[in-house]
Amino acid sequence: AIKDYEAMVRTSVENGAQMIISGAGLPLRLPEFAQSNPRAALIPIVSSLR
């Protein structure tokens, strides 16, 4: 897992990332972190029951 998830997402989006693929938990705040680039695709990975 990333220690600075919020900072990494914000930095990626601010530097022109076209998509953010996020796993390891439900990224509820991902849209908030990516507000500076509304064109960035936000793709959460959601696991099924095991």
Q: What is the DSSP string of 8-34?
A: HHHHHHHTT-SEEEE-SS--TTHHHHT
Q: Can you give the pLDDT at residue 28?
A: 82
Do the beta carbons of residue 12 and residue 4 sit within 8 Å? no
First to last CA, the chain: 20
Do the beta carbons of residue 29 and residue 9 sit within 8 Å? no
The structural domains of the chain, with segments of one domain joined by +, span 5-44
pLDDT along the chain (50 residues), means of 10: 82 91 79 87 80
User: Hunting for tokens 């220690």 — which residue is that?
Assistant: 3
Q: Can you give the pLDDT at residue 47?
A: 76
